[in-house]
Each structure stands twice: as C-alpha cells, then as structure tokens.
Amino acid sequence: MDFFDSLVLPHSGDNLILLKYLLILANVVFLIFSGVLFASSILSYIFRNRSRQIAKKGPEFINESHFFFRLSSDYIDLITASKIMGFGLGIIPFFSIIMIYNQLLYLTSVNISGFLLFAFLLYLIGIVLAYSYKHSLHLNWIFKRTNPNENIDIEEIENYQIATEKLNARTSVWSIIFLFFSLWFFVGSTALVVDKTHWAGSISLINVLFSFDSLTKFLHFIITAFAITGVAFIVKFYFWDKPSFDRSEKYSNYSQRLNTWIALTFTFFQPVFFVFNLFSTPRTSMTNLIYIIITVIFFLSFIVLHLFYQSIKENNFKSAIPGFYILLLIFALIIYKEQTAFGISVSDQILKLADKYEQEEKATLLASGGGEQKVNGEEIYKAKCVACHRFDERLVGPPHKEVLVKYLNKKDDMVKYILNPVKVDPNYPPMPAQGLKPNEAKAIVEYMYEHYGNEIK
C-alpha cells in the first residue's frame, strides 16, 4: 500500500469531483472496448474451430471451411483494426482508472489498487495475445488461399503453415483466458468498492471473484458485451465499411442474421440482470436519479428488442444501426449508474481529502510567512445563496429558517450537504453544486447561525 500511497497527489475538492467524472468516462471507454474485444475473441475462436472441423471432412468441404474461417477472421478484426486502438481504448483508460481509484480512496483501508494492478497485468498479456492471434489468423488465411506451383518450396510453405496454426491455436485460447480473468478481477473489485461496508477491512480474493455483487455484475457485463458485439459486426462490415467483394451474398445474409440473433438473445436477458443490479446496489447509494436511469434502461432495452426482432422477421438489417447506438447508450448508462452510486459512497471521503488539502495549503502558506487567509462567510452567502433563498419566505429553494432548524445540532452535516448537494425535498428542485471549498462552506454555515441564530430559537 505504501507504493500506491506514494503515487497520490494532493487535490482540492473541485479537482476530486472532476476525477469522479473522468472515472465515468474512462470506464465507459474501457469497458465497451474490452467487452467487444472479449466477446469477439470468443466468437472468432468458436468459428475458427468449426472451420477446422469441417476441413477435416475432405477437400470437397474446403469452400465451407473457408466460409467459417472468414467469419472467424471478421470477428477478431472487429475491434482490433490497429494496435493504437488497444493502447488508446484499453490500456490507457485502464491505467487511468487505477490511478483515479487510488486517488479517491486514499487514506482508506480498502485494498482495491492491488487487485486492479493485478488485473491490469493480466490485461496487458491478454491484449498482446489477442493481437498475436489476429495476425497469425491472417497469415493462416493467406496460407489456406495460396496455390503452390513448381517455383515454390511446398514443404517450406507447409512448415510455415503448421507453425502458424500452432501459434494461432495457443494465442486464441490464452488471450481469452487472460482477458476473462482480468475483466473478472476488474468488475469484481469495482463492484465491491461501491458499498462502503467493504471499506472497513481488507477485501479478500474470494469476495472479489465470488460475491453476489461481483458475479451478477460480471455476468451482466458479459451479456451486454455479446449483445453489442453482435450488432457492431453488422454495423461495421455492412454499413460503415465499403462493401467487400470477398463477402458473398450467402455469407452476408448468414453473418447478418446470425449476429442479429446474438444481439437479440443477449439483449433479452438484460432486464433480469437489471433487477439483480438494483438489489445489489447499497441502499445508502440509491437516489432518485439511479431509479430514473434503471427505468430508462428498461425502456431502451425493449426498443432494442423490437428493432432486432423486426430485422430478423423482415430480413432487413438496417434497424441494426439505431439498435447499435441504443445499446451503446444502455451500456454507458449502466456504467454511469454504477459510478453515480460510487460517487455517493465516496462523497464523505472527498470532503476528508479536500479538508486535508486545505490544511496542507494553510500550513504551507503559514510556513512561507503569508499568514492564514480569512474567509468571509457573509460575502459568500450573499454572492451564492440569496438568489434562491430567503430566511422566512419561499423562493427557488426552501426558507433558511426551516433549514437551520433541521441542522441545528448537525452543522457538519449541513457543510457536507452544501459541498455535495442532493435532492431531498420533492417540493423543490435539486440544489446545484456551488463549487465551494470546505472552509468556505463552513464559513457560510457559521455566518447563518450567527446572523439568524436568535430568530430560530
């Protein structure tokens, strides 16, 4: 833990809140890319083996074998167009996520950084193997379509082909294994850290892999990944890319219909896992926003199911385009919901870190001879609060007379609320964040009780 602590940089409350939003973005990029890479690797492996089994039947089945080999190649090409994609959409976001969690959970006893670092190492190996599998598969495809003549050493070509097939077989299996355990560790660790009850002690390996939260969210991740992969195949190869002459009409019809069924089947299970997801989210992290997000996801899932069913029924796959974007939105909303719950759990931790930053800043200022800067609560109150509040009359927000009575013996809670406001009273709109520092919020509370204290007793 000392190693991870040494990587932490002091940040103000505003910067820590910004890190929460960057964490959401990094998770969306990483999980979508990695989910499609994992699912497409499995599908590629399945059809590669099918191609090999058909080829063993004899030369008369060579065309059918090539048919499924081409499908296998298209799957692995789906998300691995270049090495930059693996680096920019996989490795960098993953490393960023580790650093942000390490920053936000500094001074807690939760040991998520160790598990995430281990998952990161597995992920690096999985990425390298996945790209090795892709390149060896392409070489294998070239060998299969080469027609030897008298000017070519047939024995040498066959030796290269055998070596390539061995490399292809090994990398296909091991890339899937490393990606599987890496993503399992990642999802399991980040799922557990949402619940603050796990922060009290060390998170064990058993909890990371086999707790109810970890298993349900990892399975949810997998079915969502397969759903997106199926529809992404159609959108990429038949609507985004230029038509390929290598893809016959028979291949096009088969691959589009197959992938629509994949997308439809895995989308069908989405509502079930939403229910599991709802029950696994800590009650303390539930807000009206999370319920709204889950409702929206349910609604969008039924729209996607209708689009995919219509595509299969009419044998027209143009509906895959809106279905693809809606599925991406669903995946992003799932991640946003999880990170929103984590943001609520970590809100007190952010206040603690922000206060520590303020104290260090004051100490530095005093050490340099600058003295301590005083904060004027009255000025901040008049600049920030009076636009929406009055003491004894209702404006945009509730009268401060009611608020001060509520927090009379809980002034620290009022400071926390001002720094991280959430919707409480349905009769009023949610209070927007004011971008205040902890000492500024504390000064406002002190001014209000000092100025209005006699009128609320």
Give the pLDDT confidence of 209-257 residue by residue, as tens digits: 888 888 999 999 999 999 999 999 999 999 888 765 567 889 999 999 9
**Residue 283 DSSP one-character state:** G
Give the chain's end-to-end CA distance (angstroms, integer).
49
Tokens of 149: 């003549």
Task: Give 364's pLDDT tier (boundaries 50, 70, 90).
Answer: low
| CA 121-339-108 angle, 5° bins | 70
- CA dist 28 and 223 (Å) reads 16
Q: Which two tokens stand for residue 387?
A: 């636009």
Tell me the C-alpha distance between 360 and 12, whole Å: 11
Does 366 have pLDDT greater than 70? no
pLDDT at 155 exceeding the cut of 80 = no
Task: Provide mean pLDDT across the span 164-171.
Answer: 82
How far apart are alpha carbons 363 and 366 in whole angstroms? 5
Residue partners of 254: CB distance under 8 A and separation at least 6: 67
Question: How many whole angstroms separate alpha carbon 167 and alpha carbon 149?
Answer: 26
Give pLDDT tens digits for 138-154: 777 676 665 555 455 56
Model confidence at 160, pLDDT cuts 50, 70, 90, reads low
Q: How confident is the model at residue 373 (pLDDT cuts 50, 70, 90)?
A: low
CATH architecture of the domain with range 375-455: Orthogonal Bundle (1.10)
Instruction: Please tell me what DSSP assigns to residue 90.
Output: I
Q: ∠ CA(433), CA(439), CA(442), 5° rounding?
A: 75
Domain with CATH 1.10.760.10 in the chain: 375-455
Looking at per-residue pLDDT, the higher value among 161 and 89 belongs to 89
Between 416 and 97, residue with greater pLDDT? 97
- Check residue 149 and give its pLDDT: 54
Alpha helix (H) residue ranges in 193-239: 205-210, 212-235
Q: What is the phi/psi pair of residue 81, to 5°?
A: -60, -35
Per-residue pLDDT tens digits for 93-128: 999 999 999 888 887 877 788 899 999 999 999 999
Q: What gap in Å lies between CA 439 and CA 158, rounded to an integer? A: 74
pLDDT tens across 184-214, in order? 999 999 988 888 777 766 678 888 888 888 8
Half-sphere exposure of 106 (CA within 13 A, CB side): 23
Give the chain's mean pLDDT: 84
Nearest Cα to 187, choosing from 154, 162, 157, 209? 209
What pLDDT score does 244 carry?
59
pLDDT in tens, 424-442: 777 788 787 777 878 888 8
Distance between CA 104 and CA 353 in Å, rounded? 8
Q: Measured between alpha carbons, how far is residue 117 from residues 99, 282, 334 in Å?
A: 10, 25, 23
Percentage of residues of the chain with pLDDT beyond 70: 88
What's residue 407's pLDDT? 83
Say yes or no to pLDDT of 370 above 60: no
Q: Taking 90 as the threshold, does the pLDDT of residue 262 lie above it?
A: yes
Confirm if 39 and 226 have CB atoms less than 8 A apart.
yes
Q: What is the pLDDT of residue 194?
A: 85
d(CA 249, CA 67): 12
For 92, other C-beta atoms within 10 Å of its C-beta total 14
- Of the two residues 417 and 283, the one the predictor is more confident about is 417
Among 22, 24, 2, smallest CA distance to 11 is for: 22
**Would you state the pLDDT for residue 350?**
83
**pLDDT at res. 259:** 96
Confidence of residue 287 (pLDDT cuts 50, 70, 90): confident
Query: Mean pLDDT over residues 311-324, rounded?
Result: 91
Contact yes or no for 441/413 (Cβ under 8 A): no
pLDDT for 375 beyond 70: yes
**Predicted local confidence at residue 148, as pLDDT:** 55
Q: 394 and 388 in contact (C-beta within 8 Å)?
A: no
Percent pLDDT > 90 in the chain is: 34
